[in-house]
Structure 1
Amino acid sequence: MRLFIIVLLVLIAWLQYDFWYGKNGMKEFTAVTESVSLQQAANAELHQRNQQMYAEIKDLHGGKEAVEERARTDLGLVKPGETFIRVVSDSN
């Protein structure tokens, strides 16, 4: 009976070690879970950026106000008889 108990304890210890530190064990599971959460956060950020780009593309296709705004801000274009004033904030 004593030998049986020792064998069971060794078996339980081996199974616990394998569960925590073995291949596909708990240590690897927590590392993969953390990696997945980081990737999901990155994907959410990229999804937000894509939605903004889709909205901008829709505006550019839809009307000339968006094209005019882009020409004024990016290229500095001014209509005839118009004075262009750009206010730059001091970012200290």
Structure 2
Amino acid sequence: MADHIHGTHPAIVRRLKRAEGHLKSVIAMIESGRLCLDIAQQLHAVEKAITQAKRTLIQDHLDYCLEETVGALPRDQRQSIDEFKSITKYL
């Protein structure tokens, strides 16, 4: 579905590919008997990259798809949509 490709998607893909590389590194570290602290640090990097990719995707969806669906709203009705978009940054 090419109509669902947004400007942020290439950056999300790059971030996920980086996370994939980190994850492969973690697997190799475990298999080679590396220290748990080193492994935990790499797992943290994977987790952080995936979390950031998720946040970016959700924000992108809200900025483009939700806006398109909701359309123009009067200022008094707009506040709850804007607050919802703001609070999702804490996911």
Give the TM-score normalised by the residue count of structure 2. Answer: 0.38
Higher relative contact order by CA 8 Å / sep ≥ 6: 1 or 2? 2
Structure with greater Cα Rg: 1
Give the TM-score normalised by the residue count of structure 1. Answer: 0.38
Greater per-residue helix proportion? 2
